[in-house]
Amino acid sequence: MKGLVYMGPEDLRLMDRMEPKLADNQVLLRVKYCGICGSDMTMYAGKHTRLQPDTVLGHEFVGEVVEIRTDKQSDLKIGDYVAVEPIIHCHQCFYCKSGRYNLCHHRGVYGCDVDGGFAELVQAPLDKIIKLPKSGELKKMALIEPLAVAVSVANKCQFRVGDTVVVLGGGTIGLLVAQVMEHSAAGNVIVSEIDPYRLQKARALGLNAVNPNQEDLESRVKELKKDGADVVIDSVGHAEAIKTAFELVRRGGLINIVALYHGKVPVDLLQLVYSEIDLKGTFIYTYQDFITAKELLERELIAAEALITAVYPLAEAVDVFKKMHYKNEGLKTLIKVF
């Protein structure tokens, strides 16, 4: 079978790989679609600390069940469409046992610590399989993983009906978070983005999008809520973004960071104390967020399809990564594997 293999920095190769052998309680999938994530680009650049050469990348994949190896009772059948919640964890530690396995010390992810979804076949544990509806578009279901991140972010915001929410950054995660927040009855969601393409995309999704270089974001927020935003979500990850978050949030409000910061940035901790601001981070998700993401997609409450801006066959994946490394346009790029 073919797989897209990381061999070193900026060195991806489409290679013949051994077909995965199933252990007990594992499932073999024929991968249909696999999304390219920001972290895949970090891996491509050779900047991921755990990734070793000779690994198939890809953690945002959906596919069809071709083999099941288990004695356990399961309603899973050959031919079912499924997604995989791609986090590997130890099941033993404090975090795993208290349901927060996204924080496990021995955490890993498909497409980095084990072979991932940019391959014709991939194995996955039965307890990480999410069964998808057989009807409808499988393609949009490839967004279940980033949507699970967005669900996890929203669940950590403690917002109330009618709240004003600002999402900094209109990339895939930002636009998914904004949509989830709208469906969760936060009253006024504003997306702040400077890239014209992403702005237009956000507006096409019916979101209230502002270009802070052209309009005064703070006064737009204060038109909605005099004291400032109840919640600010940072999906950008620059010093400027966290500074903006502190300017926009009201006293007693909450800032939730989902962006991955590289390097340290100054934060006004005096304001944090004086204004009693809750500062939070959200790292990925757990299984239940995946289930919620699936339900949101199934019920067509999230415009996921609109965020898919390009689909390429696996044969072109090496070139696609190379191009995206130099210029990353659009939102979500999918590789059609099979």
Least Å distance, CB 41 to Zn ion, is 10
Least Å distance, CB 91 to Zn ion, is 6
Torsion of CA 140, 66, 112, 98, to 10 degrees: 80
The answer for residues whose C-beta is within 8 angstroms of residue 316's C-beta and 6 or more apart is none
Can you list the alpha helix ranges (DSSP code H) found in 71-194? 94-97, 138-141, 144-155, 172-183
**Footprint on residues 32-51 left by Zn ion (CB under 5 A):** 37
Say whether 293 sits in a helix, a strand or coil: helix
Least Å distance, CB 60 to Zn ion, is 5
Residues 22, 93, 114, 194: which binds Zn ion (CB under 5 A)? 93
Contact between 112 and Zn ion by CB under 5 A: the answer reads: no
At residue 183, what are phi and psi to the nearest 5 degrees?
Answer: -75, -15
Write out 198-224 in H/E/C secondary structure. Answer: HHHHHHHCCCEEECCCCCCHHHHHHHH
Residues 29, 96, 175, 229: which binds Zn ion (CB under 5 A)? 96
Say whether 271 sits in a helix, a strand or coil: helix
Q: Strand pairing partners for 122?
A: 29
First-to-last C-alpha distance (Å) of the chain: 11
Least Å distance, CB 331 to Zn ion, is 13
Residues 41, 76, 88, 90: which binds Zn ion (CB under 5 A)? 90
Contact letters (x/-) for Zn ion, 227-256, by CB under 5 A? ------------------------------
Least Å distance, CB 124 to Zn ion, is 16
For 277, the token pair is 């601001």
DSSP H or E run through 64: strand 60-69
Contact between 177 and Zn ion by CB under 5 A: the answer reads: no
Contact between 104 and Zn ion by CB under 5 A: the answer reads: yes
Q: Which residues bind Zn ion (CB under 5 A)?
A: 37, 89-90, 93, 96, 104
